[in-house]
């Protein structure tokens, strides 16, 4: 496939911006989702529960992969860190996938309000991916199985390509690291292709990851030792992503390097879960939250989005 064009880069960036905004809106807001007026304490959910830190990286991977594989109906995406559910749900909502199984999740203002209000909410969406999420058959809280699932899905299906996003903390689990050996079982023409993507954001909950602390050379050698070719992708860059996906290497292993919580408010942005604890009672935090939400310029893309109604926004 060719290099990524300027228009496509703009589309990818816009999609990431929409989804990042939707993540923050789901985590914090119970009203005023489109910021049509100034935020007030009443707009904030009473109990803040969900995961911020991993979400931007998921949105980057989702947008770039979706753009690249848009004409391949045999492509699928497996998401390891199920705690990144607000990002997954944002993408599924945007594409109208959620509306197929949940008629209230329409791709319009009402549907947006619905997914935001009901995230991590009694009788609403849980904080992690779960069987009510399209394409999810397990509870998404346990790390380690993504890669093995993808290899299993490819077994006997040469037409399939499956990209798997694996957290760098997740790769510390015995299940995940040992699953790299499955590559040796799936060689040949009878099986599909798995594209592992390590989400190297350097942290797992509040601690550093082992892979984040290894030198680039050490990590490359580890990956080569499993028989893969390491290919690095700078998180924010669509050209790098496209170049990486265009590789002619037969066994690529992608390393998507992002800053945990990229785009979040200063000082708090690396938070694994909620970066601002008290926007419901603290004026300063409420102000930071409002600036953060407005930094995605929701009024620009939402006008375009709802102008298009149900159309698939690439």
Ligand X SMILES: Cc1ncc(C[n+]2csc(CCOP(=O)(O)OP(=O)(O)O)c2C)c(N)n1
Where does this chain bind ligand X (CB under 6 A)?
53-54, 81, 83, 141-144, 167-170, 173, 199, 201, 203-205, 209, 260, 272
97 binds, among Mg ion, ligand X, none (CB under 5 to 8 A by kind): none
Q: Closest approach of Cβ 260 to Mg ion, in Å? A: 6
Contact between 270 and 260 under an 8 Å Cβ cutoff? The reply is yes
Task: Give backbone dihedrals phi and psi of 264, rounded to 5 degrees, phi first.
Answer: -80, 170
Q: Which of 156, 207 has the CB closer to Mg ion?
A: 207
Q: Which of 43, 168 has the CB closer to Mg ion?
A: 168
Q: Closest approach of Cβ 167 to Mg ion, in Å? A: 5
Other beta carbons less than 10 A from residue 293's beta carbon:
21
144 binds, among Mg ion, ligand X, none (CB under 5 to 8 A by kind): ligand X
Nearest residue to ligand X on Cβ basis:
167
List of residues contacting Mg ion (CB under 5 A): 167-169, 201
Per DSSP bridges, beta strands 161-167 and 207-208 are unpaired
Q: Closest approach of Cβ 239 to Mg ion, in Å? A: 24
Q: Closest approach of Cβ 169 to Mg ion, in Å? A: 5
Q: Residue for token digits 């006997």?
A: 156
End-to-end CA distance of the chain: 18
Q: Which of 102, 168 has the CB closer to ligand X?
A: 168
What is the distance between the alpha carbons of residues 145 and 134, in angstroms, rounded to a whole number? Answer: 18
CA 76 to chain CA centroid, Å, is 14
Q: Which of 60, 115 has the CB closer to ligand X?
A: 60
Q: Closest approach of Cβ 56 to Mg ion, in Å? A: 12
Q: Which of 167, 230 has the CB closer to ligand X?
A: 167
Q: Closest approach of Cβ 167 to ligand X, in Å? A: 2
Q: Closest approach of Cβ 199 to ligand X, in Å? A: 5
Q: Which residues contact 223 (CB under 8 A, 6 or more apart)?
A: 229, 230, 253, 255
81 binds, among Mg ion, ligand X, none (CB under 5 to 8 A by kind): ligand X
Alpha carbons within 13 angstroms on the beta-carbon side of residue 16 total 24
What is the distance between the alpha carbons of residues 85 and 81, in angstroms, rounded to a whole number? Answer: 8
Structure tokens at 91: 């993408």
257 binds, among Mg ion, ligand X, none (CB under 5 to 8 A by kind): none
Q: Residue for token digits 């993540």?
A: 23
Query: Rg of the chain over CA atoms, in angstroms?
Result: 19
Angle at 273 between CA 284 and CA 277, to 5 degrees: 25
The CA–CA distances, whole Å, from 169 to 31, 85, 110, 124 equal 34, 17, 36, 28
Q: Which of 210, 304 has the CB closer to ligand X?
A: 210
Q: Which of 206, 284 has the CB closer to ligand X?
A: 206
């Amino acid at each position: 496939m060719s290099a990524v064009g300027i228009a496509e880069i703009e589309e990818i960036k816009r999609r990431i911006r929409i989804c990042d905004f939707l993540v923050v809106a789901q985590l914090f807001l119970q009203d005023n989702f489109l910021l049509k007026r100034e935020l007030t304490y009443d707009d904030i959910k009473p109990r803040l529960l969900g995961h911020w830190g991993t979400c931007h990286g998921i949105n980057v991977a989702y947008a770039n992969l979706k753009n690249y594989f848009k004409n391949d109906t045999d492509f699928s995406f497996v998401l390891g860190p199920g705690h990144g559910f607000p990002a997954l749900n944002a993408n599924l909502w945007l594409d109208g996938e959620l509306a197929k199984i949940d008629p209230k999740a329409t791709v319009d203002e009402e549907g947006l309000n619905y997914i935001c209000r009901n995230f991590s909410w009694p009788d609403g969406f849980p904080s992690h991916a779960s069987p009510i999420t399209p394409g999810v058959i397990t509870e998404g809280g346990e790390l380690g199985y993504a890669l093995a699932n993808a290899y299993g899905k490819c077994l006997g299906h040469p037409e399939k390509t499956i990209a798997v996003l694996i957290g760098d903390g997740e790769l510390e689990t015995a299940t995940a690291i040992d699953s790299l050996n499955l590559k040796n079982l799936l060689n040949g023409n009878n099986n599909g292709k798995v594209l592992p993507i390590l989400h190297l954001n350097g942290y797992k909950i509040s601690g550093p990851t082992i892979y984040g602390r290894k030198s680039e050379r050490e990590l490359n050698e580890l990956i080569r030792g499993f028989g893969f070719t390491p290919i690095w992708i700078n998180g924010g860059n669509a050209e790098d992503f496209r170049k990486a996906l265009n590789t002619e290497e037969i066994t690529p292993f992608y390393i998507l390097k992002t800053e945990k919580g990229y785009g979040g408010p200063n000082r708090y942005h690396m938070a694994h879960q909620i970066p601002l604890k008290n926007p419901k009672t603290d004026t300063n935090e409420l102000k930071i939250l409002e600036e953060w939400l407005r930094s995605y310029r929701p009024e620009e893309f939402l006008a375009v989005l709802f102008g298009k109604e149900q159309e698939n926004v690439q």
